[in-house]
């Protein structure tokens, strides 16, 4: 296994995806379940609001609370991934994700539903961390971009489908969407039977391992990438999965809102699938700058939109940005962090992205109604923030800073 891994790592210019790899198969089928977490229920937020008689901000807790525990537990899950092995943590996370998710369908109150949602978030964190770590274990260079790109493409493909499914199921019964979480159980069995545990150093222990991982990311380029990861998710979950459904709910049914979100995810899928090819001619830093530029244009276009078709076009541009940003960030972090500390670094990255996913819905619903800014004003503000991020990522100084860190390692 180690020899196979080393052979893979030697060809950094190979942009093909090894579809026959068990690692790739398990990672992709596990990743396909991730949009069950938020895109599935996002179009149904107005239904949950009306069913339980709660406010927009309270309904948005079903999005933000999902990531709340993961912010704190992700680093410790990273320790478990290295100590117990990638396979054990992934299988356990998938089973927990399915069982707890299915249990939400019989939650008697909103408080009970919210409690189960919080616990389910820790299982989701385990899935996120192990899948990205497995890719980092097995692949390097441009091929890592290619696999991560396909991983995001699968994420986007199912994220494009699930909002429509969730919106349609929510019209049948408020709790029907949660039954889809049970699909994680057979996926766990598939991983248990087919996945081989990668060879990695298990000598690190507890807080000492977290300390080493923290030191590994304590460089300006890596911390900047963590900032990019936070902002990517903060804006995406604040705008696309929270503000937009509430903004459209006055005129559109949940299933139509799901179709609008589908356009964004479809664009993300197509662009992310091409990330490996893009990485052969373009640096990760330029891909990040391009992604934020798409965010800026897309958010501004949503703000200016006056009809359904213009909204669909705008969210499609945002989807292109997602497809550029997500694989590039993970590939760049993997390039900067030693392999024996990759799980810990990715767990800290996961905490950062979960923080963005939690803070985004809180910020947008909190500022839109209680503070009186309104969702339209926040859309314009999000576009301005993304435009500033584009400028920072495109600065020549930014690219030189990353290159000075990478060149000594590759020499």
Percent of the chain surpassing pLDDT 70:
89
Q: Report all structural domains of the chain as residue ranges with CATH numbers, in order of start.
A: 17-410 (1.20.1250.20)
Task: Say how many Å lie between the first and final Cα of the chain, rounded.
Answer: 26
Tokens of 27: 């990672």
Highest mean pLDDT of the ranges 69-78, 146-155, 328-337, 382-391 = 382-391
Q: How far is CA 343 from the centre of its chain?
A: 16
At residue 337, the pLDDT reads 79
- d(CA 285, CA 119) in angstroms, rounded, equals 35
| pLDDT per residue as tens digits for the range 353-381 | 888 988 888 888 888 776 667 888 889 99
Classify 240 as helix, strand or coil.
helix
H helical segments located in 53-109: 56-84, 86-103
Q: Does residue 3 have a pLDDT over 50?
A: no
| pLDDT per residue as tens digits for the range 284-328 | 888 999 999 999 999 999 999 888 999 999 999 999 999 999 888
Under a CB-based contact definition with an 8 Å cutoff, are residues 321 and 302 in contact?
Answer: no
Which residue is listed with tokens 């940003």? 325
Q: Does residue 386 have a pLDDT over 50?
A: yes
- d(CA 122, CA 103) in angstroms, rounded, equals 15
Q: Does residue 329 have a pLDDT over 60?
A: yes
Q: Does residue 10 have a pLDDT over 80?
A: no
| pLDDT per residue as tens digits for the range 195-230 | 887 765 555 555 676 677 777 777 888 888 999 999
Stronger pLDDT, 83 or 30, i.e. the higher one: 30
């Amino acid at each position: 296994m180690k020899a196979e891994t080393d052979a893979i790592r030697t060809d950094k210019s190979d942009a093909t995806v090894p579809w026959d790899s068990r690692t790739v198969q398990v990672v992709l089928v596990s990743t396909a379940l991730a949009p069950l977490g938020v895109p599935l229920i996002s179009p149904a937020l107005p239904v949950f609001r009306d069913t339980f008689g709660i406010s927009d901000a309270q309904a948005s807790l079903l999005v933000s609370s999902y990531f709340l525990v993961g912010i704190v537990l992700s680093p410790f899950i990273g320790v478990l991934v290295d100590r117990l092995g990638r396979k054990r943590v992934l299988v356990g996370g998938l089973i927990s994700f399915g069982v707890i998710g299915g249990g939400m369908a019989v939650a008697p109150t909103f408080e009970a539903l919210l409690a189960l949602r919080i616990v389910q978030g820790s299982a989701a964190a385990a899935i996120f961390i192990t899948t990205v770590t497995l890719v980092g274990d097995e692949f390097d260079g441009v091929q890592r971009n290619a696999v991560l790109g396909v991983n995001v493409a699968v994420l986007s493909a199912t994220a494009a489908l699930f909002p429509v499914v969730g919106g349609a199921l929510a019209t049948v019964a408020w709790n029907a969407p949660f039954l889809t979480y049970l699909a994680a159980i057979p996926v766990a069995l598939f991983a248990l039977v087919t996945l081989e545990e990668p060879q990695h150093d298990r000598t690190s222990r507890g807080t000492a391992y977290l300390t080493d991982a923290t030191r590994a990311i304590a460089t300006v380029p890596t911390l900047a990438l963590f900032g990019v990861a936070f902002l990517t998710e903060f804006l995406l979950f604040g705008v696309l999965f929270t503000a937009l459904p509430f903004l459209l709910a006055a005129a559109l049914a949940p299933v139509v809102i799901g179709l609008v979100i589908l356009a964004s995810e479809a664009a993300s899928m197509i662009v992310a699938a091409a990330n490996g090819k893009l990485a052969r001619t373009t640096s990760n830093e330029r891909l990040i700058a391009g992604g934020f530029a798409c965010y800026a244009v897309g958010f501004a276009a949503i703000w200016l939109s006056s009809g359904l078709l213009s909204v669909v076009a705008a969210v499609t541009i945002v989807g292109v940005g997602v497809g550029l940003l997500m694989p590039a960030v993970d590939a760049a972090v993997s390039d900067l962090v030693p392999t024996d500390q990759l799980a810990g670094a990715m767990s800290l990255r996961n905490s950062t992205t979960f923080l963005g996913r939690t803070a985004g819905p809180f910020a947008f619903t909190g500022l839109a109604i209680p503070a009186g800014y309104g969702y339209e004003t926040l859309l314009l503000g999000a576009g301005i923030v993304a435009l500033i991020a584009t400028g920072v990522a495109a600065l020549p100084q930014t690219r030189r800073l990353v290159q000075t860190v990478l060149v000594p390692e590759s020499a």
